[in-house]
């Protein structure tokens, strides 16, 4: 049986663009150029939409992120755009001081903003290797953003300067992230929290909840029960094996718990739909 793709409608709300500029004074001023472009495009319809902050230390960066958490609790739904130099392993550079903000240290602040905005935070890392911010993620912790866009390799300041304005103008015109992504070539990649969760959980189900993987887990549970003295005769063995099969195959409680945590309670796919996809139901 051929399994079709798992499809769902992705929606997020946005009422502000927050540009954080961590570039040096001698760098191409791409963040300022972007601010001016967006201000020109939104000055009449949404005069307070674009917010610009120059940061000259990591302390300033985290102060701004803390403030965004408070503002998000009060109704702000931001796309956070960070302009900086980036390193695959060390994270983002604050050019004025040379400080590096490691991906691991950045994520808790983003988690707080995303939680406050009810999983509506979009992040654009206009920095070399910006996509590496997703490397520490796993579905057993709250996701720090609904989506993240960034390159997985070096990208020139000129390309950032050209592509980012077209990305945001298209997003503003169409309210479609897919259409806006077509404006940034292939240098920028997109991470999507829901897609990541469903793919990751699907792999877990295929590995551990169906077929030979499920049978191995059942036998492991039966062995543990036997070692614990829970099996006294063939009847009790049958009951324990039956209960173990039910437990292994029905993972709805695990799905619901992890989705509530990782996606902050907002998801588009039910366990039944995901289970049908994993099993290849038509």
CATH of the domain at 97: 3.40.50.1460
Residue 10 lies in a domain: no
Residue 188 lies in a domain: yes
Decide if pLDDT at 276 tops 60: yes
Query: What local confidence, expressed as pLDDT, does residue 168 receive?
Result: 94
First to last CA, the chain: 8
At a CB cut-off of 8 Å and minimum separation 6, what does 13 contact?
77, 120
DSSP summary character for residue 2: P
Tell me how many domains the chain contains.
2
Residue 136 lies in a domain: yes
pTM, rounded to two decimals: 0.86
Residue with tokens 């604050």: 94
Domain boundary among the residues 170, 193, 216 is at 193
Are residues 167 and 230 located together in one domain of the fold?
A: no
Query: What local confidence, expressed as pLDDT, does residue 1 receive?
Result: 35
Are residues 56 and 97 in contact, defined by beta-carbon separation less than 8 angstroms?
yes
CA 33/CA 151 separation, integer angstroms: 20
Lowest mean pLDDT among 12-21, 39-48, 194-203, 232-241: 232-241
10 pLDDT band, cuts 50/70/90, is confident
Q: Are strands 91-94 and 85-87 parallel, antiparallel or unpaired?
A: antiparallel
Residue 158 lies in a domain: yes
- Which two tokens mark 213? 């993987």
Domain boundary among the residues 175, 193, 211 is at 193
Residue 9 lies in a domain: no
Strand segments (E) across 32-103:
50-54, 78-83, 85-87, 91-94, 99-101
Are residues 148 and 214 located together in one domain of the fold?
A: no
Are residues 269 and 188 located together in one domain of the fold?
A: no
Are residues 131 and 123 in contact, defined by beta-carbon separation less than 8 angstroms?
no
Query: What local confidence, expressed as pLDDT, does residue 60 receive?
Result: 97
Helix (H, G, I), strand (E, B) or coil at 29: coil
Residue 176 lies in a domain: yes
> What does the mean pLDDT of the chain come to?
89
Q: Which domain holds residue 168?
A: 16-193
Are residues 42 and 159 located together in one domain of the fold?
A: yes
Region 98-118: mean pLDDT is 96
178 pLDDT band, cuts 50/70/90, is confident
CA 42/CA 33 separation, integer angstroms: 14
Q: How many CA atoms lie within 13 A of 222 on its CB side?
A: 19
Are residues 146 and 213 located together in one domain of the fold?
A: no
Q: Are strands 85-87 and 99-101 parallel, antiparallel or unpaired?
A: unpaired
Region 79-108: mean pLDDT is 96
- Which two tokens mark 180? 């806006």
């Amino acid at each position: 049986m051929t399994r079709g793709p798992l499809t769902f409608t992705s929606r997020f709300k946005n009422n502000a663009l927050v540009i954080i500029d961590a570039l040096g004074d001698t760098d191409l001023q791409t963040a300022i150029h972007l601010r001016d472009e967006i201000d020109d495009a939104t000055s009449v319809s949404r005069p307070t939409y674009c917010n610009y902050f120059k940061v000259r230390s990591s302390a300033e960066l985290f102060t701004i992120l803390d403030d965004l958490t408070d503002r998000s609790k009060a109704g702000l739904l931001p796309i956070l755009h960070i302009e900086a130099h980036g390193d695959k392993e060390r994270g983002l550079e604050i050019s004025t001081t040379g400080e590096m903000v490691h991906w691991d240290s950045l994520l808790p602040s983003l988690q707080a903003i995303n939680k406050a905005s009810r999983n509506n935070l979009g992040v654009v890392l206009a920095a070399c290797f910006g996509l590496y911010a997703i490397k520490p993620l796993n579905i057993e912790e709250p996701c720090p953003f609904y989506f993240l866009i960034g390159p997985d390799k070096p990208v020139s300041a000129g390309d950032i300067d050209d592509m980012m304005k077209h990305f945001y103008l298209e997003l503003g015109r169409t309210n479609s992230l897919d259409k806006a992504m077509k404006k940034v070539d292939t240098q920028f990649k997109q991470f999507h929290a829901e897609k990541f969760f469903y793919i990751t959980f699907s792999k877990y189900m295929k590995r551990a909840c169906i077929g030979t993987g499920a049978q191995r887990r059942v036998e492991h549970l039966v062995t543990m029960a036997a070692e614990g003295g829970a099996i006294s005769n063939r009847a009790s063995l049958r009951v324990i094996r039956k209960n173990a099969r039910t437990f292994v195959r029905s993972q709805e409680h695990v799905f619901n718990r992890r989705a509530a945590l990782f996606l902050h309670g907002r998801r588009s796919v039910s366990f039944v739909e995901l289970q049908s996809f994993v099993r290849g139901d038509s």
